[in-house]
């Protein structure tokens, strides 16, 4: 975190606190209630458009209505103070652009993730900048040093989101955690004259300790996904939320796998990706060699169980990161943002007092 990074983020998102706390653009989960609550608390919330660009207009309009009814002070008039996240291999760029062009307010940021190839990101970056007259800042999520450098060179993004292996939901099947990925990216980018791009750490950050650690590693801010699952604003069932609260020892009770994609039919991800979720009966049956057909049948049956379908003995998918074990209770998203910031300052001040 350098002063220039802090200044860049504060200039682009003037309503936000430093360091920046953002919420992940979780597909189907992060809609206007979550994104707006995070931004209103001084963070930057993201809407999860994901692969289905046909949801973009309604998600955007809902957020616009919220902020038109009650704007955040310090927001430039033509900026919507939330970002929008696209899963590039599945999302439709021209549909995204037409929504963006006709929107009265431009999203503060577009988060681009999981393209088939880096060159697709170049098109997304350039076209979104054009469609928003540069008002929508470009965030690109990467999981390796090579990709960070490649994206920096080809897209000149406004932010790089550095995702480590602890992250919940989708990410690279093979990567390090942010403990080494973040500083290695920071060093490599600085060596290649890209040190001015702010880095946002994600993957395993749940509280103020994680935020403070990310700052030590060179991040200018963080993105939390799993933690916000335990907020009332996350659009998930009680079963999912309960599973998040109940899961402990997150390193052994979650795993990276493609089995949940198979069961849910969310296929099409590039081969290098999978998703981290809480171990459940579907996972164990898969590991024991049950056929995909049989496992899927049991999964479909479980969808009829309502909230009982989740949890370690259930079959419904609980995407969550290894930090799930740190989450003890449900808390409003705004309180999460504030608690994470306050705790990080306390942790830092206590450590500094011993220097």
Name the site residues for a copy of itself (rule: CB under 8 A): 1, 3, 6, 18, 143-146, 164-166, 172, 174-181, 183-184, 187-188, 203-207, 209-210, 212-218, 248-252, 254-255, 321-323, 325-326, 345, 347-349, 351-352, 354-355
Q: Which CB atom, from 95 or from 326, has the smaller least distance to a copy of itself?
A: 326
Q: Rounded to whole angstroms, how far apart are CA atoms 76 and 162?
A: 27
Closest separation between CB of residue 195 and a copy of itself, Å? Answer: 15
Largest CA distance in the chain: 59
Closest separation between CB of residue 43 and a copy of itself, Å? Answer: 18
Q: Which CB atom, from 146 or from 313, has the smaller least distance to a copy of itself?
A: 146
Q: Which CB atom, from 123 or from 349, has the smaller least distance to a copy of itself?
A: 349
Sorted by sequence, the CB contacts under 8 Å of residue 181 that are 6+ apart come out as: 143, 144, 145, 162, 163, 164, 175
Q: Which CB atom, from 180 or from 262, has the smaller least distance to a copy of itself?
A: 180
Q: Which CB atom, from 124 or from 269, has the smaller least distance to a copy of itself?
A: 269
**Which residues are paired to 79 by β-bridges?**
106
Closest separation between CB of residue 312 and a copy of itself, Å? Answer: 14
**Which residues are paired to 139 by β-bridges?**
111, 159
Peptide bond preceding 19: is omega within 30 degrees of 0, i.e. cis? yes
* Best CA proximity match to 138, nearest among 172, 248, 30, 152: 152
Q: Which CB atom, from 133 or from 146, has the smaller least distance to a copy of itself?
A: 146
**Which residues are paired to 84 by β-bridges?**
47, 110
Q: Rounded to whole angstroms, how far apart are CA atoms 107 and 197?
A: 20
Q: Which CB atom, from 76 or from 183, has the smaller least distance to a copy of itself?
A: 183
- Say if residues 6 and 18 touch (Cβ distance below 8 Å): yes
Closest separation between CB of residue 320 and a copy of itself, Å? Answer: 11
199-202 and 221-224 beta bridge pairing? parallel
Beta strands in 19-78 (DSSP E): 20-23, 45-50
Closest separation between CB of residue 293 and a copy of itself, Å? Answer: 26
Closest separation between CB of residue 202 and a copy of itself, Å? Answer: 11
Q: Which CB atom, from 304 or from 354, has the smaller least distance to a copy of itself?
A: 354
Q: Is the dihedral of CA 134, 6, 160, 233 positive or negative?
A: negative
- Say if residues 100 and 106 touch (Cβ distance below 8 Å): yes
Closest separation between CB of residue 276 and a copy of itself, Å? Answer: 10
Closest separation between CB of residue 267 and a copy of itself, Å? Answer: 23
Sorted by sequence, the CB contacts under 8 Å of residue 231 that are 6+ apart come out as: 34, 37, 330, 331, 332, 333, 336
Q: Which CB atom, from 71 or from 346, has the smaller least distance to a copy of itself?
A: 346
CA angle 162, 48, 344 (to 5 degrees): 45
**Which residues are paired to 200 by β-bridges?**
161, 221
Closest separation between CB of residue 199 and a copy of itself, Å? Answer: 12
């Amino acid at each position: 975190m350098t002063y220039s990074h802090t200044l860049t983020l504060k200039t682009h998102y003037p309503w936000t606190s430093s360091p920046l706390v953002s919420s992940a653009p979780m597909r189907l989960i992060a809609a206007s209630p979550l994104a707006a609550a995070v931004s209103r608390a001084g963070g930057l919330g993201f809407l999860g458009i994901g692969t289905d660009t046909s949801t973009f207009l309604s998600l955007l309009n809902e957020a616009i209505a919220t902020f038109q009814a009650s704007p955040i002070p310090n927001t430039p008039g033509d900026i919507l103070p939330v970002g929008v996240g696209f899963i590039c291999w599945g999302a439709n760029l021209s549909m995204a652009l037409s929504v963006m062009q006709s929107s009265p307010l431009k999203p503060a940021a577009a988060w681009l993730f999981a393209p088939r190839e880096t060159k697709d990101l170049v098109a997304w970056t350039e076209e979104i900048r054009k469609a928003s007259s540069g008002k929508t800042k470009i965030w690109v999520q990467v999981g390796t040093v090579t990709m960070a450098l490649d994206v920096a060179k080809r897209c000149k993004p406004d932010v790089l989101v550095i995702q480590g292996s602890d992250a919940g939901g989708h990410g690279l099947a093979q990567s390090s955690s942010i403990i080494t990925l973040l500083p290695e990216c920071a060093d490599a980018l600085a060596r290649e004259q890209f040190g001015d791009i702010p880095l946002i750490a994600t993957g395993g950050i749940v509280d103020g300790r994680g935020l403070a650690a990310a700052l030590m590693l060179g991040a200018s801010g963080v993105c939390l996904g799993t933690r916000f699952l335990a907020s009332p604003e996350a659009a998930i069932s009680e079963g999912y939320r309960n599973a998040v609260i109940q899961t402990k020892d997150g390193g052994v009770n979650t795993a990276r796998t493609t089995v949940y994609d198979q069961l849910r039919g969310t296929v099409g991800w590039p081969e290098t990706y999978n998703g981290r979720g809480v171990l459940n009966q579907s996972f164990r049956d898969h590991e024991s060699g049950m056929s995909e057909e049989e496992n899927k049948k049991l999964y479909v049956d479980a969808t009829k169980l309502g909230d009982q379908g989740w949890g370690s003995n259930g079959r419904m998918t609980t995407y969550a990161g290894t930090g799930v074990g740190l989450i003890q209770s449900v808390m409003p998203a705004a309180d999460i943002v504030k608690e994470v910031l306050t705790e990080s300052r306390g942790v830092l001040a206590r450590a500094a007092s011993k220097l």
